[in-house]
Amino acid sequence: MKKILILVISLVFPYVLFAQTKTQNVFSKSYNYVNDFEKILTPKQIENLNNVLKKGETKSTHKIIIVTTSSLNPYSNISDYTLDLDKYLINDLKVNASILIIMSEKLRQMRIQGVNKLHSKISDKEIEEIAANFVVPELKKGNYYKGLEDGIAQILKKIE
């Protein structure tokens, strides 16, 4: 009986260890307003967006974080990546972002996610409309900065 118990523990224990460290290895150890891990923005563009987002947070008390990434690994979709990044920011880094904007030029994907506490100011449908009407058209032209700038301006109008 002890041999079976030892065998079961030795087979299950490694999976438990690795399952709990998924987000610790994937995400950065710190996040600012703009986190251009994909290197698609110039330093001046990052500085401008950081300033707009910082001023927006001061006015609205809601923090917006932008992340560009060339890979979602080990995630299979941008939704799961965004949800786990949000949990990681809150639980591990103690950063409470009201809106996360995740974008990948390489993967041609983007997601804007707002938290439930903002639904009285901006709905999921309004976020989708902002993405579709202001962000995505510019991204399709390769104007990543302009798309982010326009999208952020529209979001800030709604939540301020």
Q: Is residue 92 part of a domain?
A: yes
What pLDDT is attached to residue 18?
A: 44
What pLDDT is attached to residue 118?
A: 84
Closest CA to 78 of 68, 88, 89: 68
What pLDDT is attached to residue 10?
A: 44
Q: Is residue 17 part of a domain?
A: no
Q: Is residue 8 part of a domain?
A: no
What CATH number has the domain bearing residue 89? 3.10.310.50
d(CA 66, CA 10): 41
Low pLDDT (below 50) residues in the chain: 2-24
What pLDDT is attached to residue 96?
A: 87
Q: Is residue 21 part of a domain?
A: no
Phi, psi angles (nearest 5°) of residue 109? -135, 150
Q: How many residues does the chain have?
A: 160
What pLDDT is attached to residue 117?
A: 76
Task: State which residues form the domain around 38.
Answer: 28-114+121-159
**Number of domains the chain is built from:** 1
Q: Is residue 38 part of a domain?
A: yes
Q: Is residue 1 part of a domain?
A: no
Q: Is residue 101 part of a domain?
A: yes
Largest CA distance in the chain: 66
What pLDDT is attached to residue 23?
A: 45
Closest CA to 78 of 104, 117, 45, 59: 104
